[in-house]
A = this chain, B = another copy of it.
């Protein structure tokens, strides 16, 4: 379990183990909570964290705004859950890819696929992270976001360096810089990607992998140095 996961479980004050699951009932306490988090995530994504009122979230859930506080300590606790759920999943997937033992280029391709693969299931969370990161990181409670980001960066940079060492990747690019560009290119796609268009996220990933490794140009590489 990574730092994000760890923090989250201690942070969710109401994270009760599904108590006395009511027979025939459609959801436990934690399911209700998860449902609310998903609703909120959609609105946060659409309007931005600050512009979203707790009343909107509550109304969307069919309850009164005060009732939300039966489930969450604060509005921030809700985004917190949105973001950490995404990061937990992402980091878990990255780890699995790293443990495959494949060569660096293959691992990196897989990591690109993982990234694009989160675009649909975690669309709302990624959107929030893109748009409200700058605001949220001001608060101490979101320090773990920076830590998770660092952990991910190290995974990528290590693979890029390994690829250079193995001669698979050109040696004249800066690993950290390259990582950042890849990262941004993937996540920012959330702003315009809509399921049902010409390409699905798999297609997007393959398209990007192509350009990323072989470039846009035709013919021989002109700038190769390493």
Q: Give me the interface of A with B, judged by CB distance under 8 Å.
A: 47-48, 50-51, 105, 127, 131-135, 138, 163, 167-170, 172-174, 177-178, 180-181, 184-185, 188-189, 191-192, 198-199, 204, 207-218, 221-224, 226
A-B CB contact pairs (8 Å), 10 listed: A47-B135, A48-B134, A131-B132, A169-B218, A170-B217, A184-B189, A210-B223, A213-B215, A213-B217, A221-B221
Task: Establish whether residues A189 and B178, one from each chain, have CB atoms under 8 Å apart when the complex forms.
Answer: no
Is the Cβ of B217 less than 8 Å from the Cβ of A214?
A: yes
Q: Could you tell me if A181 and B173 are in contact, using CB atoms closer than 8 angstroms? A: no
**Bound: A94/B42 CA distance, A:** 36
Please determine whether B210 and A173 come into contact, CB atoms closer than 8 angstroms: yes
Contacts A213-B216, A221-B215, A224-B218 hold; do A181 and B168 have CB atoms under 8 A apart?
A: no
Interface of A, secondary structure class, is: helix
Q: A173-B211, A188-B188, A208-B181 are in contact. Are A218 and B48 (CB under 8 A)?
A: no
Complexed CA–CA distance, A199 and B177 (Å): 10
Most B C-beta atoms less than 10 A away, residue of A50, A181, A198, A216:
A216
Distance, CA A138 to CA B47, complexed state (A): 8
Verify A216–B173 contact, CB threshold 8 A.
yes
Given contacts A131-B134, A207-B177, contact A50 B47 (CB under 8 A): no
Query: Smallest CB–CB gap between A93 and chain B, Å?
Result: 22
A170: chain B residues at CB < 8 Å are 214, 216-218
Q: In whole Å, how far is A203's beta carbon from the nearest beta carbon of chain B?
A: 9
